[in-house]
Chain A
Amino acid sequence: MSVQTFTTAATVDDAVAAVAAGARPVAGGTDFVVGARTGKSTMPESVVAIHRIAELHGVESLADGGLRLGALASHAEIAASDDVRERFTALSDASAIVGSHATRAHGTVGGNLMNASPAMETGGPLVVLGATATLRSPSGTRSVAVEDLWTGPGKTSAAADELLVGVEVPAPAAGTGSSYLRLEYRRQMEIAVVGASASVTVADGVVTNARIAMTALSATIRRVPEAEAALIGSDGGTAAIEKAGAAVAAAATPISDVRGSADYRRAMAAVIARRAIETALSRARGENT
């Protein structure tokens, strides 16, 4: 099938109406065009380009200490934000390494989330930072936790008439540090072979909160409660970090593909998770990493 109709939406209302009528939204196109060509997905009959909608752009620091990302915020824009780098560091880590500078200039956080790849870079950080996605349809707007957004590879819990319009990240608690790390073979145009995200809060030498998520290790990016439990209440020392890393490896249900075997991924899961946690802890303690 080839694309029969192409429209460019000027407003969110236009875009939502087009999506509700069956059009597939396209923003940076970085997944869309390649996916259609490689047969991963077919080219839709109807496409609505949403990249010109001004109100969906932007990275905004909120008065309550939170962060609002327009669905069209590009990876480059997010990576260039000092506030994201200082306070939502895991997201900065991830946005800075998506694709190449060409991908980052046009690829968007909304597209990254809604394509629902279990290997996407920005998903794990947004999960551990407790982000929520805002979905709009002709009948209204609803929020869904980013960790509840995916139901399988390439599948989301969004209804067919819903368009992701933005992402909100709550203010991190004092003493929080976060990190995202991936195993990669190449420095750009790379996809995580294995990835891990960590957000930890340290108070008086004790880990009071921890969120750990794994990437490219299960059908969707997801949190690993056993790893979080291994850290919470601990001193964040080597023993607790080892235990958390082992918990991630135990929870992993990876696939074997051209990028790595399931056994290799499982073995590396512990290593990458450990390093992500160590970095997040260093950042939480205010060490310079």
Chain B
Amino acid sequence: MKVAATLNVNGFSYPVELDPGMNLLAAVRDVVGLTGSKEGCDDSECGACMMLLDGQPVNACSYLALQAEGSAITTVEGLADGDTLAPLQAAFLDLGGVQCGFCTPGMLVSATALLAGNPNPTEDEVRIGLSGNLCRCTGYDGIVKAVLSVAETADRG
């Protein structure tokens, strides 16, 4: 039996009806209709589904959607300010942090959480911090450079 709930995604409230066993990724992609977050492994190994829950990173494939009611959910669609890309998104484009793009939504969300907790990480801290996110193109170098460039920008500011 489906349960009526409200999910707050990127600042908007979505009234939804969910199967109680449905995970957050399926709810956001298939019910809310925001398909930026990806299903990679469906096993918490790859991080392609990563979202923020009240600012904290979560592997949405492994979190019950109904548990997220009452929390602020942020997906990759919520990182930009209207048509203006977030600095991290712009840096991914400028520095070759995107290849096939499948891991990118999760990478961006993961890096956003990393920088929120540690605004000026070392390269090693970025590599460890993002190692729960797999890039099948193995394009890690551009990703790490992009994250570091935003950290350095923040530092100069």
Contact = CB atoms under 8 A, between A and B. Distances in A.
B129 A47 contact: no
Contacts of B44: 30, 34, 99, 102-103, 189
Given A2-B19, A33-B23, A188-B131, A102 B50 contact: yes
B110 interface: yes
B23 to A, nearest CB: 6
B99 interface: no
B7 to A, nearest CB: 14
* Contact-size category for A: 20 to 34
B143 interface: no
B59 A2 contact: no
B59 to A, nearest CB: 5
B64 A33 contact: yes
A26 interface: yes
Most B CB within 10 A of own CB, among A4, A26, A28, A106:
A106
Q: Which of B53, B63, B129 has the most CB of A within 10 A?
A: B63
A263 to B, nearest CB: 26
A16 B123 CA distance: 46
A29 B43 contact: no
Interface string B38-74: 0000111101001001001111011110110110000
A240 B107 CA distance: 46
A117 to B, nearest CB: 14
Nearest to B22: A3
B36 interface: no
Interface in B105-129: 110, 113-114, 117, 127-129
B20 A6 contact: yes
A184 B58 CA distance: 22
Given A26-B64, A102-B50, A103-B132, A47 B20 contact: yes
B45 A106 contact: no
Given A100-B47, A101-B110, A106-B53, A29 B132 contact: no
B58 A106 contact: yes
Contacts of B45: 189
Q: Tell which of B42, B50, B57, B70 has the most Cβ of chain A within 10 Å.
A: B57
Contact of A102 (B21, B57, B69, B128): B57
A102 B67 contact: no
A49 B94 CA distance: 43
Interface in A39-53: 43, 47, 49, 51-52
Interface in B59-106: 59, 61-64, 66-67, 69-70
A119 B42 CA distance: 21
Interface in B1-19: 1, 3, 19
Interface string A93-113: 000000111110110000000
Contacts of B56: 76, 102, 105-106
Contact of B63 (A33, A101, A186, A189): A33
A188 B67 CA distance: 25
B110 A49 contact: no
27 contacts: A2-B21, A4-B1, A6-B20, A30-B59, A30-B63, A33-B62, A33-B64, A34-B44, A37-B42, A47-B20, A49-B64, A51-B67, A99-B132, A100-B57, A100-B59, A100-B110, A100-B131, A101-B110, A101-B117, A102-B44, A102-B59, A102-B132, A105-B53, A105-B58, A186-B131, A189-B47, A189-B132
